[in-house]
Structure 1
Amino acid sequence: MRKLLIPLFSIALLSGCGGSSPAERNGAEDASEAIANAIGETASSVGNGIEDAGNAIAGPVKPGRYDDWIGKWVGVEGTYLDIKKPTDEDSEADYELTMQYDLDHKGTFDGTATDHGIAFSRPDGNHVLKKATGDQTGLKYLAGKRNCVMVKQGEGYCRD
């Protein structure tokens, strides 16, 4: 905006110079000043509007208890879990769990942070996703892994 202000102000000033009478020059200077003031006020209100819009969009960010779990987790035989923050601002969920939880079933489920993990419901019942090791999942492929989560014995996902 400042780059635009300088050329406009210069043009307005130059238009008042030359062989003009003093009255014409004063009128041109007044017009130049009015243009510069209008441009400055517009730039200021646009800038404030952009700042306000940015604050309204971002809003206060409340970190979740399990935000360090956000991301992709890999299970066995093509199963996976992807944890995200909900994109729908009207959602009451703390997390969105997208998973292929066995060979035939997948879906996206709303999760709620609890003291024990992320609680969610899917067609096979209510569950709580909790921190685990690969050994705790009971899955041979995940044995020895340390950075894992599990839904129940025989269903787990790891990052390492």
Structure 2
Amino acid sequence: MMKKILFILSTLVFLSACDKEPQVSQPQPASVQATLVPEVLPTDKWVGQWVGVEGLSLTVNKDQSIGRGHYLLTMRYGLDDDASGTFKGVATEEGISFTRPDGPQLLRAGDGVATGLKWLTEKKDCLVVNTGEGYCR
């Protein structure tokens, strides 16, 4: 009689386990995925203050009004009074592309040697526009 009860109970347990449908997780909509795992652009790490030589400076901010991959670059890029301003930039594979009065430019990652400025040669974390124009942390 005990064997019969165990057999019936084990059969019921087996059948109840088979009755459940496997749970398959449904992919979340893209908007939910973006909030769960935000994608960070390499250029987002450049946000903040950067210092050049002889009073030159650069501040990189995200342009929240436009969205992801857009930046505002506030810079003093020369010694003349008119060599400063705030410029809109866009992330590219090479860096941040922007245009200022002296033409289209590309801000890219580099080191002190890449700036071409002897005062910055020891620096490791820099942003370079052209040889002779760089900003480091």
TM-score (norm 1): 0.57
Which secondary structure does the structure 2 equivalent of 1:135 belong to? helix
Bigger Cα Rg: 1
After superposing on structure 2, the runs of 4+ consecutive aligned residues of structure 1 that deviate more than 3 Å are 60-65, 90-93
The one-letter code sitting in structure 1 at the alignment partner of 2:77 is Y
Counterpart-to-counterpart distance in 1, 2:134 and 2:117: 8
Q: Distance in 1 between matches of 2:50 and 2:135?
A: 5
Q: Offset at 1:64?
A: 3.4
SS at 1:73 equivalent? strand
Q: Which residue number in structure 2 is paired with residue 103 of structure 1?
A: 79
Match of 1:125 in 2: 103
C-alpha RMSD of matched pairs (Å): 1.9
Q: CA deviation at 1:91?
A: 6.8
Aligned partners of 2:134, 2:60: CA distance in 1, in Å?
14
CA deviation string 1:121-158 (max 9, x = no partner): 00001011001111111101101111101000000000
Partner of 2:19: none
Residue equivalent to 2:23:
none
TM-score (norm 2): 0.67
2:68 pairs with 1:83: no
Question: Which of 1 and 2 has higher RCO (CA within 8 Å, sep 6+)?
Answer: 2
DSSP-derived class of the 2:42 partner:
coil
Say whether the 8 Å CA contact 1:93–1:110 is kept in structure 2: no
What is the CA-CA distance between 1:76 and the residue it aligns to? 0.2
- Deviation of 1:63 (Å): 3.6
The 5 A counterparts of 1:1-160 are 63-87=40-64, 89-90=65-66, 94-104=70-80, 105-159=83-137
- Relative to structure 1, is the Cα distance of residues 62 and 92 closer, same or farther in structure 2, using a 3 angstrom cutoff? closer
Q: Give the helix-richer structure, 1 or 2.
A: 1
SS, match of residue 67 in structure 1: helix
Q: Which has the higher strand share?
A: 2
Query: Percent identity of the aligned residues?
Result: 47
Question: Residue 93 of structure 1: CA displacement?
Answer: 6.6
Distance in 2 between residues matched to 1:110 and 1:92, nearest whole Å: 13
Structure 1, unmatched stretches of 5+, are 1-59
